[in-house]
Structure 1
């Protein structure tokens, strides 16, 4: 099972906790390879602790990149202040990994894996470049004013996915130039961006992506923090409220985050 995280210094402190949540939930026997992408300096600083954490538990493939991604456009809005240009690093993964893997499960750093990922890993992608979950707060193309750059060929009622969990079909992704076309979109609409990487991916993969059940990217932690609720395999703390920020509701999810963070601290 090939699982990827990508992060800059803004989220580096939390990457190991997300990794630990995977290991804490994985029943085996499938071996896990973690593909971790970070700027060169961040990777250098984190590598010793990561190797201690994963020793005898999973394989580590540490990927590095320069700082070109920092020049990509961002949305200058207070409500998106928690988002950094590190969001674009996921677009670099398919080319950096190349033919070393045929599929890749990409996860945002602000997730907790809560159960066995094997059924997700085994999903038949067919000829789709990716599989994803419909966004809990931006369910359609026309929600929140619509996707900048959408044309008459895009149905306003078409489902819109969240990019925090992506099961990537790497050969198809590269064949269809998904990353390159996303970067072209960002350059063309730099002054009009809304959810930059996510809008780009939704336009490029329009009509071609495979929809997954919400258990694989549940974004409603605010109603599921006090009790387990439905079968949630990946809890995504989307938005500004995270388990490590002030105001996160006390409950079993906060308790688990603290327990995972304590395990990670032992590898520092």
Structure 2
């Protein structure tokens, strides 16, 4: 299973916790490869601890990039201040992991894996460039004013996906130049962007992506209860929005408690 995270310094200190959540749900799995894309400075700082964490538990493939991504536009709205230019790094992954990798499960750093990912990994993607979950807060193309650049060929009621969990079908993604088309879109609509990388992916992959059940990217996990009497089948909890387990105002409960336990284990590696 090839799992990817892409992040800059804004989220670097939290990636080991996300990695630990994956390892926690796949104990003893011999086939985990973690592709981590970040800047050279962050890689130099984080590599020793990551290697200690993954020793005997998974393979580390540390990828680096220059600072060109920082020139891409970032939304100026205050309510999106928690988003950094590092969001664009996911678009670089398909070209950097190498041609031998045919599928990649991309996860945002602000997720907590809470169950076995194997059924997702084994999903038949057909000719779809990606599989994703419909966004819990931006359900359609028309929500929040609509996707900049959408035309009459785009149904305003068409489902809109969240880019925090993406199962990438790399041969199709590369063939159709999904990343290059997204970058072209971002340049063309730099002064109108709403959810930059996400809008770009939704527009380019319109009508071709495979829709996943919400268990694979639960953006409303704050509504879940976790007790022996009320189990849930959410496999990925996504802490979308400004409140993260490491910020003030995050709701107490089993999600926070598990995060703290994972963070303590990750911290032991440095």
TM-score, L = length of structure 2? 0.97
User: Equivalent residue for 1:174?
Assistant: 174
The residue number in structure 1 matching 2:97 is: 97
RMSD: 1.1
Q: What's 2:26 paired with? A: 26
Instruction: Please say if 1:164 is aligned against 2:144.
Output: no
Q: Which deviates further from its counterpart, 26-35 or 182-191?
A: 26-35
Structure 1 residues 95 and 74: CA distance shift in structure 2, 3 A: same
| Structure 1 residue 29: Cα displacement | 4.0
Give the match's secondary structure for 2:116: coil
Structure 2 equivalent of residue 250 of structure 1: 252
The TM-score, its normalising length taken from structure 1, stands at 0.98
For structure 2, the 5+ residue unaligned runs are none
Give 1:139 deviation, angstroms: 0.7
Partner residue in 2 for 1:43: 43
1:112 paired with 2:112, answer: yes
Q: Partner of 1:183 in structure 2?
A: 183
Is contact 2:132-2:209 (8 Å) kept? yes
1:61 aligns with 2:66: no
Secondary structure of the residue aligned to 1:159 is coil
Give the paired residue count: 268
Output the CA distance in 1 between the equivalents of 2:231 and 2:135.
19
3-state SS of 2:87 partner = helix
C-alpha separation between the residues in 1 aligned to 2:186 and 2:43? 26
Q: Distance in 1 between matches of 2:268 and 2:207?
A: 45
List gaps (5 residues or longer) in structure 1: none
Q: CA deviation at 1:100?
A: 2.7
1:8 corresponds to which residue? Answer: 8
1:226 deviation in Å?
A: 6.2
